[in-house]
Chains A and B, each alone.
Chain A
Amino acid sequence: MTLRKLQIALWAAVALVLIGTAGFMLGARNEEPVAAATFQPSFALADAAGRERTDEEFRGKYLLVFFGFTNCPDVCPTTLAEVAQVMDGLGEDAAQVQPLFISIDPERDRQMGLSEFTEAFHPSILGLAGTADETRAAAESFKIFYERQEAEASPDGYSMSHSSALYLIGPEGHWIRQYSYGTPASEILADLQTRL
């Protein structure tokens, strides 16, 4: 075998390995089911009337979920105001989207009134406030964070820090994406409209 032929053979081998690797990677990607790439959050929490609501009853609808507390003067009203704009903007498609406000300060929020708060922004927003354990379980299943912070300069001596994004859950109950805090309502609306 001449040196020239050996060179060609080696390059051919390299090419085969590259094609094989690429094929293997593409194949692997195709085999991966979409569902495995995401997760299915779950919750069982009381609404303002004390009725237990679960993720399962909303199958077939998109869920727009925000975790917050009604004593929050800045981030929560701002986000709920955006949700209200999105719901108005959806028009007839609004029936396919259920906005949820899940309280991470459920005891105080139940005392203060959950529905009057959510309804002040939009009648379609459903407020949920479970027990401490149920709230913890819901937050874990959504993979979100919240924490009580002792703060002298806050009502009742504490405030809550919390994940501030809006979460979109699909009609089959799978987590689709989050809209980080401050995403303009127009962007959320446009994104939802491509899905409905």
Chain B
Amino acid sequence: MKRLAIILALLIAAPPAIACETFTTGDITVEQVWSRASIGTQRPGVLYMMIRNEGAADDALISISTPIAEKPMLHETTVEDGIASMPHAMRVPVPAGQTVELRPGGYHGMLMGLTEALEEGASFPVTLTLEEAGDLTVLAEVLSMRAEAPECDAAQ
């Protein structure tokens, strides 16, 4: 009985959030893949994640594709002298032994031409194409419009 209570407590304390799942191919591990809820489909959605390269060779994220958007692209927000702009990023370098974050205010996926509204709590697949590691399909969780990051325990 006591054990059951502990198990239940653990289950309640750590709901199985998709945003906290990890996806691996070769030396590349991807986690905390998330997006923000959208209002309808008119405006572009966003995609964030953490990519860890445990190998000895540099890699790079070169494209993303997803059934949820007609034109998903990689962008980088840069803030220079207080001016934010968002140039198209051809590739997101993932150097050997390092973790690269696609996060608010930095690299991010821009999901143009949403095929359906992104509802909080939903999830959708995204195929990442890496220069060396090849394709890896991950699941992105749609968080609240006000979210700034997923809440995962013991990330890393």
Binding site for B on A (CB under 8 A): 70-75, 77-78, 81-82, 84-85, 112-113, 116-117, 120-121, 145, 149, 151, 153-155, 159, 161-165, 178, 180-182
What A residues does B104 contact at CB under 8 A? 74-75, 77-78
What A residues does B83 contact at CB under 8 A? 145, 161-164
> Please, how many angstroms separate the alpha-carbon atoms of A182 and B79 in the complex?
10
Taking a contact as CB atoms under 8 Å apart, the answer to whether B88 and A153 are in contact is yes
- Which stretch from B20-28, B41-49, B92-100, B134-142 is at the chain A interface? B41-49
Taking a contact as CB atoms under 8 Å apart, the answer to whether A81 and B108 are in contact is no
- Which stretch from B11-19, B51-59, B123-131, B144-152 is at the chain A interface? B144-152
Main secondary structure of the interface of A (DSSP, over half): mixed
Min Cβ gap B86→A in Å is 6
With contacts A74-B86, A149-B85, A155-B112 taken as known, whether A181 is within 8 angstroms of B44 at the C-beta atoms is: no
Residue B122, interface by CB 8 Å: no
Min Cβ gap B92→A in Å is 14
Residue B7, interface by CB 8 Å: no
Min Cβ gap B135→A in Å is 21
Residue B105, interface by CB 8 Å: yes
